[in-house]
Chains A and B, each alone.
Chain A
Amino acid sequence: MVHQYKLNGYNIVLDSCSGSIHSVDDVAYDMIEMFEDHTWEEIVNELLEKYKDRDDVTKTDLYECYEDVLELKESGQLFTKDTYEDMAGTFKERSGNVIKALCLHVAHSCNLNCSYCFASQGKYHGDRALMSFEVGKRALDFLVENSGTRTNLEVDFFGGEPLMNFDVVKQLVAYARSIEKDKHKNFRFTLTTNGMLIDDDVIEFANKEMSNVVLSLDGRKEVHDRFRVDYAGKGSYDQIVPKFKKLVDARGGKGYYMRGTFTHFNPDFTNDVFHMADLGFTELSMEPVVGKPEDETTLTAEDIEIVKEQYEILAKDMIRRKKEGKPITFYHYMLDLEGGPCIYKRISGCGVGTEYMAVTPWGDLYPCHQFVGEESYKLGDVFNGVSNDALRDEFRCCNAYSRKECRDCWAKMYCSGGCAANAFHASGSIKGIYEPGCELFKKRIECAIMMHVSENEDE
């Protein structure tokens, strides 16, 4: 499957199934477009006519190009057939019921009152609650017991606001560290926080124990303070920005992300990304809001078009910043072309409900953080394990080939079939599709690839 596009002055040809990326000139671009369903004569006649004003486009020259294309095809770098479908289910089958990542909802409670919150102010449509040490400990044991031969186990402290239950977070990390050696496991912790409760104690702990921290900041003050307000309605920007800065400065190069949400009110979100860069943060992530079509924050069809342009603006500006020696990282533009994931990982889906699950404060298991609170999606609990096997099997079947829309899509090696939660919220079924999400995803990958092409050209 070949995807061709022009962006920022580059002609890019992506051979989706081999992962090969080619940067080509106009002539080769047209030739590749015609190659599979035209004869050599048709190609040469059309291209000689189209480029008749250019003396570098001759029949001999076109033939050379034709041979190059053929060579790429024969070496498996172009027009590679999609032969992976049969493999798509095998990774999860082989993994059996292995679980390797948990999102611990240590606090269904929040000290902010952000109206767009998909967790409805941290309560997930339920009551306020904090996870006890006993439930958390049981969750960690459950993870170890179910992790099979996997060494790397990921645990995210999530909420609501996890720092509202900081003591338990500390106890759980200490407990995990006390067992990991004997169990031959390597715990990797992350913390997602709104920053309100960050103090020296938190900074020291996070920088020692968390392999990643996700800091919620929406960008410009007026944007951030529109939604991220306390219960008195007061914006939180002024309180948290200095705390975030202090934490990041002390982090000594360890992973972090400034993570913002953009909505219908700021589809021009690159200005928020740039604002974060101006504040001195370099690891940035900005996500479209997750919501129902009727919510006032939800992106409209017009917004989606604006957002797509914004992604281009962002990519171009990041190229400029890098050249000037002041690079920033945008989460969705990180694309490791040589060290990235294998084909199994690429086509097996996100792991929702199989290798990854979310745990509520009282120990219930859900397929992921975005399903928490949807009663019919409860998988079981950490005390008795997964009881809803039919539901687990349904999630096991989610992969890059399980939706008909994905089958013919060039981007499936990058999105792995997309987000089941987005699909569920948009279509009512995890087997559905969230079109605008796909559109934005594809745009992001196009931009990310273009940035690599640009760098390659400069070398």
Chain B
Amino acid sequence: MKRIKTLKTRNLCESAKKGGCGECQTSCQSACKTSCGVANQKCENVAK
């Protein structure tokens, strides 16, 4: 596309199919302790 560049991202709609195993780190645990940011968590789903 001439005027639009799209970055590679995980498709969130697709992620609904196999997601939700709950193995990933709890959001606030360990680093910041004062806010909720989920986007920097790593997915740890072994079946993904």
Contact = CB atoms under 8 A, between A and B. Distances in A.
Nearest to B15: A342
A283 to B, nearest CB: 9
Nearest to A418: B36
Nearest to A257: B31
A270 interface: no
B10 A339 contact: yes
Contacts of B44: 152
Nearest to B7: A21
B9 A338 contact: yes
Contacts of B35: 287, 415, 418-419, 422, 437, 441
Contact of B39 (A156, A287, A445): A445
Contact of B24 (A18, A84, A341, A343): A341
Contact of A414 (B2, B11, B39): B39
Contacts of B38: 341, 345-346, 350, 414-416
B40 to A, nearest CB: 4
Interface string A105-117: 0000000000000
B36 A416 contact: yes
A22 B6 contact: yes
Nearest to A29: B3
Contacts of B43: 336, 339-342, 345
Q: How large is the interface on B (under 10, 10 to 19, 20 to 34, 35 or more residues)?
A: 35 or more
The interface size bin for chain A is 35 or more
Contact of A214 (B2, B9, B30): B30
Contact of A343 (B3, B12, B22, B33): B12
A18 B10 CA distance: 8
Interface in A93-131: 94-95, 98, 100-101, 103, 118
A118 to B, nearest CB: 8
B10 to A, nearest CB: 5
Contacts of B33: 158, 192, 214, 259, 287, 369-370
Interface string A317-352: 000000000000001101111111111111001111
A437 B13 CA distance: 27
A290 interface: yes
Contacts of A91: 20, 22
B36 A25 contact: no
A129 B10 CA distance: 46
Nearest to A344: B20
A341 B7 contact: no
Contacts of B18: 342
A380 interface: no
A456 B29 contact: no
B22 A20 contact: no
Interface stretch (A64-72, A176-184, A235-243): A64-72
8 contacts: A22-B5, A25-B4, A95-B22, A156-B29, A287-B34, A337-B7, A340-B41, A453-B7
Interface of B: 1-13, 15-16, 18-20, 22-45
Query: What are the 10 A-B residue pairs with the smallest beta carbon separation, nearest first?
Result: A342-B19, A344-B20, A28-B3, A342-B15, A334-B40, A350-B36, A101-B26, A350-B27, A19-B12, A190-B30
